[in-house]
Chains A and B, each alone.
Chain A
């Protein structure tokens, strides 16, 4: 591999190199170039290759395209061919790179010594130990071995099962804490089928989410974000331009709720009851659809117990709100209720609601040929654990990222049970709490290094292929299993006909070809799948009918257990069930609504806090985040956590994010907040608790300053009414500026291209995928909690969250959320103040920031009205092997230089070079900045402002009324414009 390619030997500081180059006649030292002996035909050094694979960060199963440079994957994008991701992925997907290159990954197999310390051992020694133990257990009798793992897709799960059989055991559990069981159980109860429905939000006119954070972690967030953006774009309905109605029933206003019209603050655990009340309203108003085929009075009786008044008392939701929701839902032409949480009752209520209004088959669809359940049902998992507790198991194998010690309900006592087991083998990439309890640790490939296949839904067959050589001397999990099966099981070796995992996957796809494409050949089908990242077919909707049995039974939604306060746990948008916590990007990117980083916290309403004797005094501190520590006494022990006081949570409720509180999950996850899974019982995410203020202090950290926009024109909103009338709203905090631009001289003529961007604030959900993508694409350093506290976060694009003032609530969105990056001004204030032209204007309308020319006066940032420039206070660091992820096309900035968004200039120049050498013009859409490419909501459009029919100009023209530039009074003429977010006036 030619060293000449890694022109930027990645950790080298631009500064030192600059020093070398600045001194005349002093040349950088000679370096070695070692060419291939035999070149790889597919690789052109310096040109990226793209491989399709699938994402493993959550069960949604998005398709990925990995950009690989010189054998290293440096960036992940969504797979455009894949119907789920359709070319964009979330922040967690972007960050799975950091799972691959995680500095805390296990390099070599380890064995735990008597004294509990870990000793490195060789692979063959490790596998020998592993197989001997299994053999011994198999000797001892049937079912002496238990396997607990995360599902790795149909084929590999089959392999696992076979391997376990080979050792004469059937104690198999595929574990997900945020599971599908409630949804499946409810589907079973309502429609007599246990598969998961598909939601078509874009088909609906009304969406009511009963605790489902469908823009954050629930179901398939990328897909739902995309659909929701569609749903929220005003469209002609019933002869007028209307905005889809959305309501969010939950105790805490998450970024999902922030995008809805109504935040219905219900007591935690009563979402189901509210759903029933809505159903009650719907049926009593006779809004039941004829063709739903449900007996009206059966439903009436069913919902009778839930008249709005009783539910209102139980849930704290005003009666008229419930009536309003009922009206919205019942009268909508296409509506969908989304059930969330772990309570099956909520799901049943929502399903019935969808069914009786005739939306099943329309906005909520069951497909024929849905894949088999991958995740084991909780009760079966419990039997396995019971067996372990009863000492019927000699060997427990925990594999594939499942982290039961961390995530299992406290009542199951898994950790204790595990202590009884003589031999626990852990197979994974980054050691976690379960690994800490294991006797043998085997490092296995990360998903991006191994063969897999996925079946997220009917018609979608994802193929996960390794996109690079393993970073560490690890082995594929199922290679190890297959090998051990062949060794250990003697006669039953034939039970696994394949040599290794890739054979197994390949074989499975040969069968698939027989089913899906009989006329094609196996090889062609296989190659095509590898190219596209899978096979994608239209699946037929199934005809389903609401069974009458469910209506006969009486629903008892469990209300939150008693206690003066209620603890409501919500999955952190970036950590999901906790697996994201060891990735520094996800720790550093602020949670969109609370804007807190690197920590766990408890959100409280000012009134609740006042009862506990905590005052909100953020104005006087340097940080606009909480500092007082409370002790929360739960039935499963006390939690100590810092309080963040916010109006975005219901009084009497303590909202805490799930996913932090790792005791052993690498350096980035260490010592942050509490692990709520250890307190939450099965089947609910809320708890009755008591809380009291302690004397301890713990500063929560946020890069966000004031949450009050002070009426400045930063993120603007307009009502759908105004849009229809064609009235542009006045921003009262803004000095009125007539006829921008004010030019003194003849404006500069941009003869070639002129790059510009438009951001539709109405589509943006604050999911921060753009931020993660920017970190990955532009080698942005991660600063850590202490530096963020000093305002040293480096992200070039930030998602800003402003809370409307009390007087704005009636006429404005619930929250103002928008991404803010360098606005690439024409009259850039940063440029004339730089003494050395480090900040200069290009002939294509960009504000160039020339790192190697920068001397660090920081004058530019002072003069930047948008405060989007970032200064390198220290030289950034990437602990090995994170440095392998760095993008070779982007300079790694050293200490003392300013940096900022470049519209991904490296992508622009590459595209321009290609166009020129192929001697053609650039095609609109050929250049996509990382943020725009990642955005699941398609909120960001980039293009050439000199090209009259570019998408960006078209988008501006189509939304003239909504188009605005931030802080116009500076007359900076930004090349980034925003489209006002839309809201519905509250009556």
Chain B
């Protein structure tokens, strides 16, 4: 009898433990997102202390923070480097690509049914790093936090911000 029962019981037990363990595994950011050009946030935001909103200029005014126009690069680089922009904006990934058209790869993505607006968060004094992590120390940006509903809610609860579902989901 036990020849049968004990293995069965063991199997159930192990699989149960396995499920729990799997559900508790830590979140791992996807680090495989390569950018087309060797742009370093560490150099710009870290060493040269360029404020985030100098390039991501819309964060304070709009729902998107905005990716800087290539013109913004020229502001500093254009004159400095001989040959203008080509050296810095020519994608290393693809030699044939139009140098001024930088095809950045998205690092942070939200599903379509979430409406996240940067504006109020900046005005509420939320530092960029609270969600995006210490970008100024990264050469290539990788996510530090898993941006999921729990992450948002934790902060909303902590700061006593609204918890109406409707505010982000409509």
Classify A-B as touching or not with yes or no (CB < 8 A).
Answer: yes
Known interface pairs A7-B116, A21-B148; 12 further A-B residue pairs with C-beta atoms within 8 A, sorted by A's residue number: A34-B103, A35-B68, A36-B69, A37-B101, A46-B64, A47-B61, A843-B164, A852-B113, A891-B170, A892-B112, A909-B115, A909-B167
Closest 8 CB pairs of A and B: A46-B62, A848-B166, A852-B113, A36-B69, A46-B63, A17-B111, A842-B164, A33-B104
In the assembled complex, the Cα of A3 lies from the Cα of B107 at a distance in Å of 12
Q: How far is the CB of B162 from chain A (nearest CB, A)?
A: 7
User: Is B67 an interface residue, CB under 8 A from the partner?
Assistant: yes
In the assembled complex, the Cα of A608 lies from the Cα of B167 at a distance in Å of 56
Which of A24-32, A371-379, A498-506, A617-625 interfaces with chain B? A24-32
Give the residues in chain B near A913, CB-CB below 8 Å.
Answer: 117, 119-120
Give the residues in chain A near B100, CB-CB below 8 Å.
Answer: 37
Give the residues in chain A near B113, CB-CB below 8 Å.
Answer: 8, 14, 17-18, 851-852, 891
User: Is B38 an interface residue, CB under 8 A from the partner?
Assistant: no
Give the residues in chain B near A971, CB-CB below 8 Å.
Answer: none
Give the residues in chain A near B103, CB-CB below 8 Å.
Answer: 32-34
Interface residues of B in 130-170 (CB under 8 A from A): 148, 162, 164-167, 169-170
Instruction: Please tell me if the beta carbons of A848 and B102 are within 8 angstroms of each other in the complex.
Output: no
Instruction: Please tell me if the beta carbons of B62 and A47 are within 8 angstroms of each other in the complex.
Output: yes
From B104, B119, B170, A917 is in contact (CB under 8 Å) with B119
Instruction: Please tell me if the beta carbons of B115 and A7 are within 8 angstroms of each other in the complex.
Output: yes
In the assembled complex, the Cα of A28 lies from the Cα of B30 at a distance in Å of 11
Given A44-B62, A906-B170: A33 and B106 within 8 A (CB)? yes
Chain A 891-927 against B: per-residue CB contact (8 Å), 1 yes, 0 no?
1100000000010011001000100110000000000
19 contacts between A and B (CB under 8 A): A7-B63, A7-B110, A7-B114, A17-B113, A25-B25, A32-B105, A36-B71, A37-B101, A38-B70, A39-B71, A46-B64, A47-B61, A848-B164, A848-B165, A850-B166, A891-B113, A902-B166, A905-B166, A917-B123
In the assembled complex, the Cα of A37 lies from the Cα of B120 at a distance in Å of 27
In the assembled complex, the Cα of A12 lies from the Cα of B107 at a distance in Å of 19
Instruction: Please tell me if the beta carbons of A891 and B112 are within 8 angstroms of each other in the complex.
Output: yes
Give the residues in chain A near B65, CB-CB below 8 Å.
Answer: 4
Q: How far is the CB of A431 from chain B (nearest CB, A)?
A: 34
Interface residues of B in 27-64 (CB under 8 A from A): 27-28, 30, 33, 58, 61-64
Give the residues in chain A near B167, CB-CB below 8 Å.
Answer: 909
From A9, A38, A905, B112 is in contact (CB under 8 Å) with A9
In the assembled complex, the Cα of A37 lies from the Cα of B71 at a distance in Å of 6
B interface secondary structure, majority: loop
User: Is A170 an interface residue, CB under 8 A from the partner?
Assistant: no
Q: How far is the CB of B145 from chain A (nearest CB, A)?
A: 13
User: Is A2 an interface residue, CB under 8 A from the partner?
Assistant: yes
Instruction: Please tell me if the beta carbons of A905 and B170 are within 8 angstroms of each other in the complex.
Output: yes
**Which of B27, B103, B105, B111 has the most chain A CB atoms closer than 10 A to its own CB?**
B111
User: Is B87 an interface residue, CB under 8 A from the partner?
Assistant: no
User: Is B66 an interface residue, CB under 8 A from the partner?
Assistant: yes
Q: How far is the CB of B148 from chain A (nearest CB, A)?
A: 8
Q: How far is the CB of A512 from chain B (nearest CB, A)?
A: 36
In the assembled complex, the Cα of A909 lies from the Cα of B119 at a distance in Å of 12
Instruction: Please tell me if the beta carbons of A38 and B166 are within 8 angstroms of each other in the complex.
Output: no
Given A28-B109, A902-B166, A913-B119: A34 and B102 within 8 A (CB)? yes
In the assembled complex, the Cα of A44 lies from the Cα of B25 at a distance in Å of 41
Instruction: Please tell me if the beta carbons of A850 and B112 are within 8 angstroms of each other in the complex.
Output: no
From B106, B169, B170, A32 is in contact (CB under 8 Å) with B106
From B104, B105, B170, A902 is in contact (CB under 8 Å) with B170
Instruction: Please tell me if the beta carbons of A33 and B67 are within 8 angstroms of each other in the complex.
Output: yes
Given A28-B109, A32-B106: A916 and B66 within 8 A (CB)? no
In the assembled complex, the Cα of A906 lies from the Cα of B69 at a distance in Å of 28
Give the residues in chain B near A30, CB-CB below 8 Å.
Answer: 30, 33, 105-107, 109
Q: How far is the CB of B63 from chain A (nearest CB, A)?
A: 4
A interface secondary structure, majority: loop
Given A891-B112, A892-B112: A5 and B105 within 8 A (CB)? no
Instruction: Please tell me if the beta carbons of A843 and B61 are within 8 angstroms of each other in the complex.
Output: no
Give the residues in chain A near B109, CB-CB below 8 Å.
Answer: 27-31
Give the residues in chain A near B117, CB-CB below 8 Å.
Answer: 46, 909, 913
User: Is A890 an interface residue, CB under 8 A from the partner?
Assistant: yes
In the assembled complex, the Cα of A30 lies from the Cα of B33 at a distance in Å of 8
Give the residues in chain A near B166, CB-CB below 8 Å.
Answer: 842, 846, 848, 850, 902, 905, 909
Q: How far is the CB of A528 from chain B (nearest CB, A)?
A: 26
Closest to B36 in A: A32
Interface residues of A in 34-88 (CB under 8 A from B): 34-39, 44-47
Instruction: Please tell me if the beta carbons of A890 and B170 are within 8 angstroms of each other in the complex.
Output: yes
Q: How far is the CB of B159 from chain A (nearest CB, A)?
A: 13
User: Is A840 an interface residue, CB under 8 A from the partner?
Assistant: yes
In the assembled complex, the Cα of A46 lies from the Cα of B110 at a distance in Å of 15
Given A30-B33, A30-B109: A851 and B169 within 8 A (CB)? yes
In the assembled complex, the Cα of A851 lies from the Cα of B165 at a distance in Å of 10
Give the residues in chain A near B67, CB-CB below 8 Å.
Answer: 2, 4, 33, 35
User: Is A241 an interface residue, CB under 8 A from the partner?
Assistant: no
User: Is A333 an interface residue, CB under 8 A from the partner?
Assistant: no
Give the residues in chain B near A12, CB-CB below 8 Å.
Answer: 112
In the assembled complex, the Cα of A7 lies from the Cα of B170 at a distance in Å of 13
Give the residues in chain A near B162, CB-CB below 8 Å.
Answer: 843
Q: How far is the CB of A18 from chain B (nearest CB, A)?
A: 7
Give the residues in chain B near A851, CB-CB below 8 Å.
Answer: 113, 169
User: Is A607 an interface residue, CB under 8 A from the partner?
Assistant: no
User: Is A20 an interface residue, CB under 8 A from the partner?
Assistant: yes
Given A891-B169, A909-B170: A916 and B106 within 8 A (CB)? no
Instruction: Please tell me if the beta carbons of B70 and A37 are within 8 angstroms of each other in the complex.
Output: yes
User: Is A483 an interface residue, CB under 8 A from the partner?
Assistant: no
Interface residues of A in 825-851 (CB under 8 A from B): 837, 840, 842-844, 846, 848, 850-851
Closest to A917 in B: B123
User: Is A853 an interface residue, CB under 8 A from the partner?
Assistant: yes
Give the residues in chain B near A29, CB-CB below 8 Å.
Answer: 109
Give the residues in chain B near A21, CB-CB below 8 Å.
Answer: 111, 148
Instruction: Please tell me if the beta carbons of A35 and B64 are within 8 angstroms of each other in the complex.
Output: no
**Which of A5, A31, A46, A851 has the most chain B CB atoms closer than 10 A to its own CB?**
A46
Closest to B71 in A: A38
Instruction: Please tell me if the beta carbons of A38 and B111 are within 8 angstroms of each other in the complex.
Output: no
Instruction: Please tell me if the beta carbons of B169 and A37 are within 8 angstroms of each other in the complex.
Output: no
User: Is A889 an interface residue, CB under 8 A from the partner?
Assistant: yes
In the assembled complex, the Cα of A909 lies from the Cα of B67 at a distance in Å of 24
From B33, B104, B112, B123, A35 is in contact (CB under 8 Å) with B104
Closest to B120 in A: A913
Closest to B169 in A: A850
Q: How far is the CB of A162 from chain B (nearest CB, A)?
A: 43
Q: How far is the CB of B146 from chain A (nearest CB, A)?
A: 8
In the assembled complex, the Cα of A425 lies from the Cα of B161 at a distance in Å of 62
In the assembled complex, the Cα of A889 lies from the Cα of B162 at a distance in Å of 19
Given A4-B106, A46-B58: A916 and B120 within 8 A (CB)? yes
**Which of B30, B64, B71 has the most chain A CB atoms closer than 10 A to its own CB?**
B64
